[in-house]
Structures are given as C-alpha cells and as structure tokens.
C-alpha cells in the first residue's frame, strides 16, 4: 500500500543503457516523475541502471514502455 510518506517504488529494467536513456526521454516527455538509479543488487539485469518510479504510475509507464520496447521488465523495489 502506498502512503504519502512511504511510497512504493517499481523499477523498469532494460537490456542496455541506451534503452534506459531512450525510455527516460519518453517518460519525461510525458511529464512523469522518474529517476534513473543503479540496479539494486537483489535484482539481476543486463544493464547497470534502471528507471525508478512510484507505484501509482505503474499502469501508465507499463503501457508506454511495452508499446515502445521489446524487452522491458518491471520489478517492485
């Protein structure tokens, strides 16, 4: 459950940094609050960075990214 003081975050994982950068441009262009962070050690990925965002944005971000990338994975942080 998300609360104002304790938001739940998700990560979008990609196979390369170039995919992360392209996704960042798309999502920021939509006015969405995202942040590029190092992939947590508990999550495996081919790339060292991922896009972090609040759970309330999951549906919108998932739709945008799945329509534009063949390989994207979402994990709860």
Residue 61 dihedral angles phi and psi, to the nearest 5°? -65, -40
Q: Which domain holds residue 64?
A: 9-76
Residues with Cβ within 8 Å of 70's Cβ and at least 6 positions away in sequence, in order, are none
pLDDT tens, residue order, the chain (77 aa): 555 688 999 999 999 999 999 999 999 999 999 999 999 888 865 679 999 999 999 999 999 999 999 999 999 99
pLDDT at 55: 98
Which is nearest to 28 in space by CA: 6, 56, 61, 73?
61
Domain of residue 55, CATH code = 3.30.70
Any idea which residue has 């944005």 for tokens? 57
Tell me the β-bridge partners of 45: none
Give the whole-angstrom CA distance, residue 27 versus residue 46.
21
The number of folded domains in the chain is 1
pLDDT at 3: 55
pLDDT at 19: 96
pLDDT at 40: 86
Tell me the β-bridge partners of 60: none
The pTM of this model reads 0.88
């Amino acid at each position: 459950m998300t609360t104002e003081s304790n938001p739940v975050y998700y990560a979008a994982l990609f196979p390369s940094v170039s995919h992360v950068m392209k996704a960042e441009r798309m999502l920021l262009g939509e006015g969405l609050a995202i942040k590029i962070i190092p992939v947590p050690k508990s999550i495996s990925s081919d790339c060292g960075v991922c896009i972090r965002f609040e759970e309330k944005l999951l549906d919108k971000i998932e739709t945008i990214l799945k329509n534009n990338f063949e390989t994207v994975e979402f994990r709860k942080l």
